Structure formats: structure tokens, C-alpha cells
Amino acid sequence: MEQSELNLKHSFLATLEFEGKPVVMNFERMKKRLENDRYSVRERTEFELILRGDKYSNYLTLADKERHEPQLFYFECLGDKYTILVAEGSAQGFYLSMEGSERVCVPVGEDPTMFRLYDGHKVVVYDRPDVDLFGIHLVSWSTKSSVFKLGERGDYYFSDSKEGRSEFALFPDSTEFAVRVISSGHGHSIERNGIPHLPTANN
């Protein structure tokens, strides 16, 4: 990604929701569970083991409760596409990517997925000052496929490959997100792979 391509005017800081539940990283969900005394010793041990896992243990998922704190993301605009940087928590400074063989949305230091945001069949390049967006589909630029919520019994993940297929789907059964915009139109100081980073580019 060339920094000169980054357009701060259309970049923004936001959280994501799906069907009223916040979108979070799985490690944050496990930490929240460990704060809850209702889980058994065996369950708590499982949560702790997950927290010691690799990047595929820290996939993008849904919070267990609507009231839980949502994950903060920085949407970096490049032309009419976006990369999504995790702006806080266990994966702070890493990009969301589905470019691995599993096509599961996980945090990475390199090779981020580039997304287009669609509202219906219209490509969205954000230009409204701090206005939330609803009914937004994320579409992978590399596969031209919508992002789907997959999984069951509360253990969900996001992927652009549904049932082993990677295909463009606009959109009847793909995932619609609510994008809750915190601020827009400028860079944000975010640690990237442990190093403080302030996006700079032409507006």
C-alpha cells in the first residue's frame, strides 16, 4: 500500500454492528468472558488457551452481548476502496485480512484485504461528516465476494468464502453492517504493529 494513495478526507474511525451486536476481535470476547464468574473452571481454561493462540484464534467475530464494547477500526480510504486497521485492543495496529488460505477475517501486519463498501448496489466513498451508515456490505476486492457471517451457537466468524465457495454475491444472503462513525476526515494516531503511526497522505 502506497501512503501517497491514502485519502484522509474519506477515511474515518468507526465501529461495526451486525443485527444489533458489536463486531469485536475474538481475544476481546474471551477476555470479557473471563471477567464473568458464571463460566466453569474448564470453560475458563479453554478461554485462556484461546488467548495464547495464533492470529487465527483472534478472528473477527460478534460480541456475546449487545452492551459489550465494540471494536474500534480505522477505515483507510484508497481510491474507492478501504483497508481496515484495528485501532485498539489485542490486535491494535494490524489490518483485517482474508487473504490467507482459510479466507477467515483475521488481523495481519501485511497483505490486508482491500474492501469496497456497498449501500445497495452503490459503492460508498465516505464523505458525510460523522454520519452513521446502515445496510452496508463489505466486498473483498481480491475475490469480488461479499463478506458473510458464518458459524453457529454464538461462535461466529466472517469470511468471503461461503460453504467453500468464493463468489460475488450482491447481496441477498450476505452480511449487512451498521457502521457507527466516531470521527472522519483526518488521520488518527494508532500504534501499528507496536509502533505509533499517524496516517499521512494527500487529501
175 confidence band (pLDDT: 50, 70, 90): confident
Query: In the CATH scheme, what is the code of domain 3-26+58-197?
Result: 2.80.10.50
Could you report the per-residue pLDDT of 114-148, keeping only the tens digit for each? 999 999 889 999 988 778 999 999 999 988 888 98
163 confidence band (pLDDT: 50, 70, 90): low
Query: The pTM is what?
Result: 0.84
pLDDT of residue 22: 95
pLDDT of residue 172: 52
- Nearest-angstrom CA–CA distance, 151 and 121: 26
Domain boundaries along the sequence of the chain: 3-26+58-197
